[in-house]
Amino acid sequence: MSLVGALPFLKPRLSPSVSPGRQRRHTLPASEFRPLNTQDAISVFEIEKEAFISVSGDCPLHLDEVRHFLTLCPELSMGWFEEGRLVAFIIGSQWDQDRLTLDALTLHKPKGSTVHIHVLAVHRTFRQQGKGPILMWRYLQYLRCLPYVRRAVLMCEDFLVPFYQKSGFKVQGRCSITVASLTFTEMQYPVRGHALMRRNSEAIGFPQTVLLLEEPIQRSESALLLEEQTQRTEPESADV
C-alpha cells in the first residue's frame, strides 16, 4: 500500500522564511516526524523504560515487543525527532475486534480496521512542553490517510483519561485486561474523513491507496491551543 498521501504528516513543511539553499546546509532537520524502524528500537525502549517504570513498575512494550511491532507494522508508528534525536513516539498495531483482549498486547491483525495504540511516551527532557498532545494530533490526522482504518483505541490508567479526552478520545468502559494490580479504562477515537479523501483521489485519477490531502500540513489552531493548555498539565508518561 502506498503512503504517498500520508507522508506530509510525517515531514513538516519548510518555513517560507528559510531559503532552500540555506536549509540544505543543515545536515539534520530541526524537527521531523517519521515512522519508526527497528534501528530506533533501543532509543524507543530507553524513553519508555524511564517514563513508565517509576510510575507503573513495568513497560507497555518490552524491547523484543518494540522490535516485533516495528518489524510487522512500522507504518503505524510515529517518531518525533529534533536534530536527529528521538524526543517522543507512538507505536500502534492493527486489531480486529470491538474491544481489547490480552491478544491485543502482542498481536498485529493485518485485516483489522482498528489501530491499537500501545504506547505514547515523551523523553524526560522534553516533557511539560505540550509535545504529547501535538504528537497525538499528528498521529490521528495521519491515520485518516490510511483507508483501512476506522478507529483508534487504547487502554490507560484512570488518571490519564482526561489527557486523552482532550485529544478527542471517548471512554468505552472498563478494559478486560489487567496487569498485576493495575486496571485500565478503554477509550476510542473514530477516524473520519476517508470518504471525502477517496472521492478526491478518484477525481484526479489516483488509485484508492494514494490519498490527496487538502489540509495544509501545519499545526492547527486547535492543536496549538491544546499545546498551550497542557504545557503545565501534561503527565510524565502515557500508559496505553
> Is residue 180 classed as helix, strand or coil in its secondary structure?
coil
Q: Which among 36, 61, 120, 226 is annotated as catalytic?
A: 120
Q: Which among 68, 116, 118, 123 is annotated as catalytic?
A: 118
Could you confirm whether 164 is annotated as catalytic?
A: yes
Distance CA 76, CA 64 (A): 17
Nearest to 93 by CA among 143, 166, 59: 143
> Is residue 35 classed as helix, strand or coil in its secondary structure?
coil
Q: Which H/E stretch holds residue 77?
A: strand 77-82
Q: What is the DSSP annotation of 155-177? A: EE-GGGHHHHHTTT-EEEEE-S-
Q: Which among 43, 77, 93, 167 is annotated as catalytic?
A: 93
Q: To 5 degrees, how large is the angle CA 235–CA 238–CA 240?
A: 155
Q: Which H/E stretch holds residue 33?
A: strand 32-34
Could you confirm whether 107 is annotated as catalytic?
A: yes
Please report which residue ranges of 63-160 form alpha helices under DSSP H: 63-72, 131-143
Give the catalytic positions in this structure. Answer: 93, 107, 118, 120, 164
